[in-house]
Amino acid sequence: MTEPPAKPARRATPRPVVPRAERRLIGIPVSPGIAIGPVFGAAEAPAPVIRHKISAADTQAETARLEAAILQSRKQLMKLRARLGNLPEDSQAEIAPMLDAYLQMIGPSRLVRGARRRIGETLVSAETAVLDETDSICSAILAMPADDDAAGLRRRADEVREVGRRLVRNLTQTPFRSFSALPQGAVLLCESLRPADAALLDPSRLAGVATDEGGSDGHTAIMLRALGVPAVLGVAGLGQAALPGETVIIDGVAGTVIVNPTAETLADARRAVTAFARAQQKLALLRRLPAITTDDQVIELQANLEIPAELPLIAQAGAAGIGLLRSEFLFMNRETLPQEDEQTETYRSVIEAMAGDPVTIRVLDWGGEKDIEALQSEGVVPEVTDDNPALGLRGIRLLLRETALFETQLAAILRASVAGPTRVLLPMVTTVGEVRHAREIYERVARRLRRRGEKLPETLPPLGIMIETPGAALSADALALEADFFAIGTNDLTMYTLAVDRGESDVAALYDPLHPAVLRLVQFAAEAALRLRMPVSVCGEMAANPKLLPLLLGLGLRSFSMNASAVPRVKQAVRAADIDECVRFARRVMEQSDPARIKEMVLGQP
Ligand code: PEP
Ligand code: MG
């Protein structure tokens, strides 16, 4: 039997497509490369809302949750509003009224009053109250006589829904994005991206990333660089400037985001993509060449590793081992803690992949921006942490309190260390006592493993410390007597020295690793190590900037660890450097006390 011929589909009357004008936004370039693709921004994971009843005894607690979510939502919106000042005037004029409407609705509005009332009157959870009130307001708006402005009514209802959605997300602590539906070649635009979210991105599918929030040396930025995804963070007005599906160009070097580019802009961007690829190919030729200065000083260039997916990039980049393995990835995006065997296998596979090149494994650096669900769900850290987590129970402080967690990780590293040269690195050290205490635990774990019959290297792997707080840098002479090596973490060192959040776009302009205060601390710490002929490296983002290399070489540093994609560019700078010249240059720089002058000398710009 043959099928009847299909009826020709009725053509819908084509609607005139009015292309929106090209719009240029500016942010912080954090990961080089140029991406062109459709905007992916709409597919947020739905917040897990189960509408449910509560008992009368719970109304107070539910109301308190609602008030906290209102406060959080207001803070988020005010932050977005405050940052609009960075936009061109026409963009501000378009976006500001929308944010003002949201802010009004999060104030003493019908939505907020209604949600509060519903909790007590109908005995429902805060989420249910918000959803029910949102539905009721939207139905009332849409039932109003449209006259000539049906679109206006729809827009008002959408605004109410948007505010309701934000409240529910904050109530359920649902992140603002999900990437499961990310189409191939799309550009991800979102308000903010947590480091743990960035770890879930698939760089082979994603063309680029831009966010409203974020700073240049925050962990999200580091993760995006590690993945080699072109990215611009801290772009004011971004969320309101682009619609899903529109074409966008991200320039991770210039820090621009261009929405709806004209044909001419698009052609320019395509040429820039080709030029960038050519430059990358040229740099790749450096892979097999040694990292050696013009006066024959051998410089160690290693890679930082955030997630194992980077291993092939490290091999391609020609890095001589891993100078900083951030072990947080093992603990992220999961609900249970990784056990000793699982950790051992992971470390062993990385060490084996390095085929004889050294691997420095940093023990867990929880805290600051690095929320780790598993630590919370297993009760290792409390569900609600301090208001000021960067100054709280971070890094070694947590490990010395939760010794079982620390011992499991040390045991795994020790067992894996038979596979190749390994070092152990302690994060967030501030006192000599912490190093001594950590070493006692380290040696105790080794003794226990030996008693258990585990094969360990005859000499235990060196135990070193991060110099990433002013306290550590200024006591580097004392710490050098306790530690086997130093790794200078210039990201946190800059943050803590200048009291500037490294991941915060609002203060990004103040985040300055070339500030004389930071440079003096780096110099003091480096000299303390060099006096004792103790190994010292730089593993913060400063190490990845070829323009900073002459200064760091001039301060006596010879070992650098950076995101793998930066290794070729830094190697090129090493091969052009002359140590005597670097020493003279560093001397001149260190005489300066004006950050602007130092920037001019080092970067060639004020
Ligand atoms: C640093 O602080 O410079 C560093 C390398 O550690 P992280 O970026 O992981 O905090
Ligand atoms: Mg750090």
Closest CA to 33 of 227, 244, 240, 318: 227
For residue 588, how many other CB atoms are within 10 A of its CB?
12
Q: Could you give the dihedral angle defined by the CA atoms of residues 80, 81, 86 and 87, in that order, rounded to the nearest 10 degrees?
A: 100
Closest CA to 426 of 378, 470, 390, 394: 394
For 378, the token pair is 């297993």
Ligand 2 centroid from CA 473, angstroms: 13
pLDDT given at position 455 = 95
Q: What is the CATH number of domain 23-43+181-283?
A: 3.50.30.10
230 lines ligand 1 (CB under 6 A): no
DSSP string, 502-524: TT-GGGGGG--TTSHHHHHHHHH
For residue 606, how many other CB atoms are within 10 A of its CB?
10
pLDDT band (50, 70, 90) for residue 16: very low
pLDDT given at position 94 = 62
Q: Considering only CA atoms, which residue is closest to atom 3 of ligand 1?
A: 489
pLDDT given at position 87 = 57
- Domain span(s) for CATH 3.20.20.60 in the chain: 321-462, 466-606
Condensed to tens digits (0 to 9), the pLDDT of residues 541-580 reads 999 999 999 999 999 999 999 999 999 999 999 999 999 9
Geometric angle at alpha carbon 271, from 268 and 273, rounded to 5°: 110
Q: Considering only CA atoms, which residue is closest to atom 1 of ligand 1?
A: 489
Ligand 1 centroid from CA 586, angstroms: 24
Backbone angles phi, psi at 93, to 5 degrees: -60, -30
CA distance 447 to 215: 43
Homologous superfamily of domain range 321-462: Phosphoenolpyruvate-binding domains (3.20.20.60)
Contact assessment for residue 307 and residue 226, using Cβ atoms and an 8 Å cutoff? yes
Q: Considering only CA atoms, which residue is closest to atom 10 of ligand 1?
A: 492
Query: Could you tell me whether strands 486-488 and 300-305 are parallel, antiparallel, or unpaired per DSSP bridges?
Result: unpaired
The ligand whose atoms approach the alpha carbon of 329 most closely is: 1
Is residue 132 classed exposed, middle or buried when 0-12, 13-18 and 19+ CB atoms within 10 A define those classes? middle
For 122, the token pair is 């109908």
490 lines ligand 1 (CB under 6 A): yes
Ligand 1 centroid from CA 489, angstroms: 5
- Tell me the CA distances in angstroms from 567 to 76, 379, 493, 546, one per residue in order: 37, 39, 22, 9
For residue 579, how many other CB atoms are within 10 A of its CB?
18
Contact assessment for residue 227 and residue 198, using Cβ atoms and an 8 Å cutoff? yes
Homologous superfamily of domain range 56-171: PtsI, HPr-binding domain (1.10.274.10)
Mark the residues whose beta carbon lies below 5 A from ion ligand 2: 468, 489, 492
Higher pLDDT, 250 or 379: 250
- Ligand 1 atom with least separation from CA of 222: 8
The ligand whose atoms approach the alpha carbon of 362 most closely is: 1
For residue 399, how many other CB atoms are within 10 A of its CB?
27
484 lines ligand 1 (CB under 6 A): no
Q: Considering only CA atoms, which residue is closest to atom 6 of ligand 1?
A: 489
Give me the percent of the chain exceeding a pLDDT of 70. 92
pLDDT given at position 90 = 60
Dihedral sign from CA coordinates of 486, 490, 491, 493: positive
Read off the amino acid at residue 170: N
Condensed to tens digits (0 to 9), the pLDDT of residues 319-330 reads 999 999 999 999
For 413, the token pair is 């590293």
Scored b (16 or more CB within 10 A) or e, 52-72 reads: eebeeeebeebbebbeebbeb
Ligand 1 centroid from CA 443, angstroms: 26
326 lines ligand 1 (CB under 6 A): yes
pLDDT given at position 386 = 63
Ligand 2 centroid from CA 567, angstroms: 20
Give the 3-state secondary structure of 320-347. CCEEEEEHHHHHCCCCCCCCHHHHHHHH
Looking at 463-578, list the stretches that DSSP marks H as alpha helix, in order from N- to C-terminal side. Answer: 470-474, 476-479, 490-498, 516-531, 549-554, 567-576
Best residue among 398, 468, 495 to mutate for probing ligand 1, ranked by most atoms within 8 Å of CB: 468
pLDDT band (50, 70, 90) for residue 592: very high
Condensed to tens digits (0 to 9), the pLDDT of residues 398-431 reads 999 999 999 999 999 999 999 999 999 999 999 9
pLDDT given at position 179 = 72
pLDDT band (50, 70, 90) for residue 12: very low
pLDDT given at position 606 = 56
Provide the 3-class DSSP secondary structure of residue 180. coil
Q: State if pTM tops 0.85.
A: no
All residues at 6 or more sequence positions from 258 whose CB lies less than 8 Å from its CB, including other chains = 22, 23, 24, 25, 248, 249, 251, 265, 269
The answer to whether residue 439 scores a pLDDT higher than 50 is yes
- How far does CA 366 lie from the centroid of its chain? 14
The ligand whose atoms approach the alpha carbon of 489 most closely is: 1
Most distant CA pair in the chain, distance: 92
Ligand 1 centroid from CA 596, angstroms: 24
Ligand 1 centroid from CA 490, angstroms: 7
The ligand whose atoms approach the alpha carbon of 429 most closely is: 2
Report, as an integer, the average pLDDT of 367-376.
Answer: 78
Condensed to tens digits (0 to 9), the pLDDT of residues 440-467 reads 999 999 999 999 999 999 999 999 999 9
pLDDT given at position 7 = 42
CA distance 259 to 267: 14
Report, as an integer, the average pLDDT of 468-495.
Answer: 98
Report, as an integer, the average pLDDT of 462-476.
Answer: 98
Q: Considering only CA atoms, which residue is closest to atom 8 of ligand 1?
A: 491
Higher pLDDT, 489 or 162: 489
489 lines ligand 1 (CB under 6 A): yes
Ligand 2 centroid from CA 154, angstroms: 47
Q: What is the CATH number of domain 466-606?
A: 3.20.20.60
Contact assessment for residue 168 and residue 66, using Cβ atoms and an 8 Å cutoff? no
Q: Which 8-state DSSP code applies to residue 34?
A: E
- Domain span(s) for CATH 3.50.30.10 in the chain: 23-43+181-283
- Ligand 1 atom with least separation from CA of 427: 6
492 lines ligand 1 (CB under 6 A): yes
Give me the percent of the chain exceeding a pLDDT of 90. 63
491 lines ligand 1 (CB under 6 A): yes
The ligand whose atoms approach the alpha carbon of 360 most closely is: 1
Ligand 2 centroid from CA 471, angstroms: 14
pLDDT band (50, 70, 90) for residue 169: confident
Q: Which 8-state DSSP code applies to residue 367?
A: B
CA distance 466 to 472: 8
Best residue among 491, 493, 495, 563 to mutate for probing ligand 1, ranked by most atoms within 8 Å of CB: 491
Condensed to tens digits (0 to 9), the pLDDT of residues 492-528 reads 999 999 999 988 888 888 999 999 999 999 999 999 9
Say which range, 63-67, 204-208, 238-242, 494-498, has the weakest mean pLDDT: 238-242
pLDDT given at position 283 = 87
pLDDT band (50, 70, 90) for residue 177: low
Q: Which residues are catalytic?
A: 219, 539
pLDDT band (50, 70, 90) for residue 185: very high
Geometric angle at alpha carbon 380, from 425 and 351, rounded to 5°: 30
pLDDT given at position 9 = 41
Higher pLDDT, 158 or 4: 158
Q: Considering only CA atoms, which residue is closest to atom 4 of ligand 1?
A: 489
Mean of pLDDT over the chain: 89
- Ligand 1 atom with least separation from CA of 468: 2
Closest CA to 167 of 240, 116, 212: 116
pLDDT given at position 178 = 64
pLDDT given at position 466 = 98
468 lines ligand 1 (CB under 6 A): yes
Closest CA to 238 of 5, 372, 403, 79: 79
Give the 3-state secondary structure of 378-428. CCCCCCCCCCCHHHCCCCHHHHHHCHHHHHHHHHHHHHHHHHCCEEEEECC
- How far does CA 239 lie from the centroid of its chain? 18
Report, as an integer, the average pLDDT of 216-221.
Answer: 85
What order do you get walking across the sheet with 247-251 strand by strand?
23-26, 256-259, 247-251, 34-40, 186-190, 206-211, 231-233, 28-31
Give the 3-state secondary structure of 265-304. HHHHHHHHHHHHHHHHHHHHHHHHCCCECCCCCECEEEEE
- Ligand 1 atom with least separation from CA of 489: 3
Say which range, 21-25, 26-30, 331-335, has the weakest mean pLDDT: 331-335
- Ligand 1 atom with least separation from CA of 326: 9
Residue carrying structure tokens 């760091």:
552
